[in-house]
Structure 1
Amino acid sequence: MHEYFRRKAHHQGYTLSLSQQRVIERMAQQASALLHTSPRSRQRSLYLHGAVGRGKSWLLDGFFQAVPIAEKQRVHFHDFFTHLHQGMFRHREAPDALGRTLDELLKDCRLLCFDEFHVHDIGDAMLISRLFKALFQRGVLLLVTSNYPPEGLLPNPLYHARFKPVIDLINARMEVMEVGGPHDYRGQPHSHTQQQFTQGQYVWPGSPAQRQSLRLPERQAPAFALRVGARQLNVRLCAERTVRFEFADLCDQPTAVMDYLELCRRFDTWIIDELPSLEDCSIAAQQRFINLIDVLYDQDKRLLLIGERPLRDSLGGNAIDLARTRSRLGQLLEVGPEAIATTDIDLNTSGAHSSLRRT
């Protein structure tokens, strides 16, 4: 484990921080225990927290890749919980719907890596309590990354006290470690995190002249209905694997993470137009935008985001997770009003590969 991370850091040109070295030491101990103890033996799981871009997901991915067992899964918060809710609804008549669903989702999993863990919904919070207890009872080694220490989860004062038993469970059954350091590695040319938006761009101000120069779609295209599950969503363009929405189509409407996941199965290139100043939007709209960016980022989709002002001026607001969204969108190539045309979008429905390409 130590050698794996040493080579990984050297290859990417990074020096491991002291906090990262401490985490790797703990991971080495966990890997040894996984290899030399029975599958049902209990050991202390690991909860990593810290500011965005400090290498939490990089550490999680490295641990997942380096542990030489087949019974392991790496999952994302949104995707896992969508499948969990669907499974429990499917088995709602069973005496233990959660247990039946985990049997399907995890099978013989011994290591579960749970990335980008956060809680803002009281319904999810109550389910998390049952989920963690079930995982610990099954002897699953849980590795969790989060932007928040356990005490910072579900900060809404209306619900935080009800979540306190889960916080106590995490502190009792998991080793809580902070991944710190002065640098946001996502802002460096070769990201310390492996994942980033693929060839994504942020274009502003999206004026008619700029749209013509960059071959962008015109504003105020008529909306038409697109069925997504049981919903009808307004969409401005569908062309092969490319889809275009206006911000209001997705974020001012009661859309959900499961809608974004379903759309990701159908589209690889996303154009989100008419991005407003988030600080002028409701908290609900801000949270939907955060969830949308989380899903697009995790699903490795191409993103063309179009707004009226520089990106840093568009991402104000009070939603709790906006720091993560700013960090992720900061990886987009920003194309301002004076930039040379660098966007080439094939919007022909007959095109086999609709995509964003940087020239």
Structure 2
Amino acid sequence: MTVAALYDARAREGRLAPDPGQRATLPALDRLRTDLLQPPRRSLFRKPRPVRGLYLWGDVGRGKSMLMDLALQSMGEAVPTRRQHFHAFMQWVQAALARARQTGTDDAILPVADEIAATARLLALDEMQVTDIADAMILGRLFQRLWSQGVTLLTTSNRPPFDLYKDGLNRALFLPFIAMIEAECDVVELASPTDHRQGRLQGAPRYFCPVDAASRAAMAAIWADLTGGQAQPTTLRVYGRDVEIPAFHDGCARATFYDLCGRPLGPADYLALAAAARVLLIDEIPRLGSENFNQARRFVTLIDALYEARVTLIAAAAAPPDRLYVEGEGSFEFARTASRLMEMQAADWGRLADAPDAQ
């Protein structure tokens, strides 16, 4: 069944709301499907050229991950495929490179790329976002080898290729990879004014207290609705350090207060999270005071980063914002954070409210 047929079937069943922007991408996905279902042209002397890939980009919440999964479903087991979130894939690559170097090989990238090519004709990477210089320096040579081995790339991203690793250190060294993406893939924008995920949140509560069975169930229901059970742990690379996010899917992140504020994270880490996540769920926010003063300071920094980036915040806390931090050093300064927490509960809060088509 074609991708378009699967899409229409889901629409008839009420499993998705038809979207003209999504529908406009279906011919490109079906072109990819048709090409991959053809047997590769083999030669005794060289690997077959890969099928031209697809780079699908657009704002978060537009359904890119869903469309990728529809394309993979339409091909079934006929096309050997490796599907991973981009950050998880790069973690695996970094670990595989370390193992390869231990063998004394002169070029660790070659065996790593060949290991991927041995099992996958299609590499499907969700949410490509390059923020770390180590990843940026690897990607060009890695994919040059993968394409030479006949591997096709299907990827989604919130950015067009030219905006990858934007303002990154030594970005000039990354530009050849961008040129390779544009040479090897059709670049297709999913242009839709509708953030389907944001629509699910309209009018719904965004701040739950106290932290009890009812609030945990409400948070779990929102998360299931936003992610469809497809979230996975991910890692943000910030100046060469790893910031672990326990659950992430299509711009939605979820973590506990202690994941984000119980560890020695700083402004750069929170800015990276605010850039990566359109929606953030924070569980188990405790009362704040002198006994957890350092955690409270980090929480203030985190909320400032989320507020400035207009991230939609869903939270479960021990008390309402104006009662979270009521005494001790820092309680007076926390008044601004409490005010921001209350403002962020508004139904129209979030980046969508700033978009030209949001009115």
Q: Per the shorter chain, which TM-score range?
A: 0.5 to 0.7
The one of 274, 283, 287 equivalent to 1:304 is 283
Give the match's secondary structure for 1:175.
Answer: strand
The 8 Å contact of residues 57 and 159 in structure 2, kept in 1 or not, is answered as: yes
Aligned residue for 2:130?
119
Deviation at 1:10, TM superposition (A): 3.0
Q: What is the CA–CA distance in structure 1 between the aligned matches of 2:99 and 2:259, rounded to whole Å?
A: 38
2:267 paired with 1:282: yes
Aligned residue for 1:80?
89
The one of 51, 56, 64 equivalent to 1:48 is 56
Aligned residue for 1:256?
242
The one of 32, 35, 46 equivalent to 2:34 is 32
The 8 Å contact of residues 83 and 123 in structure 2, kept in 1 or not, is answered as: yes
Q: What is the CA–CA distance in structure 2 between the aligned matches of 1:182 and 1:289, rounded to whole Å?
A: 21
Aligned residue for 2:182?
171
Matches within 5 A, 1:1-359: 1=2, 2-11=4-13, 12-17=15-20, 19-38=21-40, 40-68=48-76, 69-92=78-101, 93-156=104-167, 158-189=169-200, 203=207, 210=210, 256-257=242-243, 271-273=256-258, 282-287=267-272, 304=283, 306=285, 315-317=303-305, 326=311, 337=320
Q: What is the CA–CA distance in structure 2 between the aligned matches of 1:190 and 1:3, rounded to whole Å?
A: 29
Question: CA deviation digits over 1:132-152, x for unaligned, max 9?
Answer: 212211111111111111111
The 8 Å contact of residues 57 and 156 in structure 2, kept in 1 or not, is answered as: yes
Q: What is the CA–CA distance in structure 1 between the aligned matches of 2:86 and 2:23, rounded to whole Å?
A: 25
The 8 Å contact of residues 53 and 186 in structure 2, kept in 1 or not, is answered as: yes
Deviation at 1:188, TM superposition (A): 3.0
Deviation at 1:26, TM superposition (A): 1.2
Question: CA deviation digits over 1:147-203, x for unaligned, max 9?
Answer: 111111111164332221111111111111111111111123399xxxxxxxxx975
Question: CA deviation digits over 1:335-359, x for unaligned, max 9?
Answer: 9739xxxxxxxxxxxxxxxxxxxxx
Consecutive unaligned residues of structure 2, counting only runs of 5 or more, are 42-47, 217-235, 248-253, 289-298, 322-359
Give the match's secondary structure for 2:305.
Answer: coil
Deviation at 1:33, TM superposition (A): 1.1
What residue identity is the alignment partner of 2:17?
A: Y
Q: What is the CA–CA distance in structure 2 between the aligned matches of 1:84 and 1:319, rounded to whole Å?
A: 34
Q: What is the CA–CA distance in structure 2 between the aligned matches of 1:108 and 1:182, rounded to whole Å?
A: 38
Q: What is the total number of aligned residue pairs between the two structures?
A: 268
Q: What is the CA–CA distance in structure 1 between the aligned matches of 2:284 and 2:271, rounded to whole Å?
A: 15
Q: Which has the higher helix share?
A: 2
What residue identity is the alignment partner of 2:56?
A: L
Aligned residue for 1:231?
none
Return the TM-score normalized by structure 1. 0.61
The 8 Å contact of residues 255 and 288 in structure 1, kept in 2 or not, is answered as: no
Q: Relative to 1, partners in 2 of residues 1:187 and 1:89: Cα closer, same or farther, differing over 3 Å?
A: same
Q: Relative to 1, partners in 2 of residues 1:110 and 1:285: Cα closer, same or farther, differing over 3 Å?
A: same
Give the match's secondary structure for 2:89.
Answer: helix
What residue identity is the alignment partner of 1:16?
A: D
Return the TM-score normalized by structure 2. 0.61
Q: Relative to 1, partners in 2 of residues 1:94 and 1:171: Cα closer, same or farther, differing over 3 Å?
A: same
The 8 Å contact of residues 48 and 145 in structure 1, kept in 2 or not, is answered as: yes
Q: What is the CA–CA distance in structure 2 between the aligned matches of 1:148 and 1:43, rounded to whole Å?
A: 23
Structure with greater contact order relative to length (CA < 8 Å, sep ≥ 6): 1
Q: Relative to 1, partners in 2 of residues 1:212 and 1:251: Cα closer, same or farther, differing over 3 Å?
A: farther
Q: Relative to 1, partners in 2 of residues 1:31 and 1:256: Cα closer, same or farther, differing over 3 Å?
A: same
Deviation at 1:13, TM superposition (A): 4.1
Equivalent pairs: percent with the same residue? 27
Q: Relative to 1, partners in 2 of residues 1:101 and 1:182: Cα closer, same or farther, differing over 3 Å?
A: same
Deviation at 1:286, TM superposition (A): 2.8
Q: What is the CA–CA distance in structure 2 between the aligned matches of 1:38 and 1:252, rounded to whole Å?
A: 40
The 8 Å contact of residues 272 and 305 in structure 1, kept in 2 or not, is answered as: yes
What residue identity is the alignment partner of 1:271?
A: T
Deviation at 1:105, TM superposition (A): 4.1
Aligned residue for 1:341?
none
Q: What is the CA–CA distance in structure 2 between the aligned matches of 1:175 and 1:215, rounded to whole Å?
A: 45
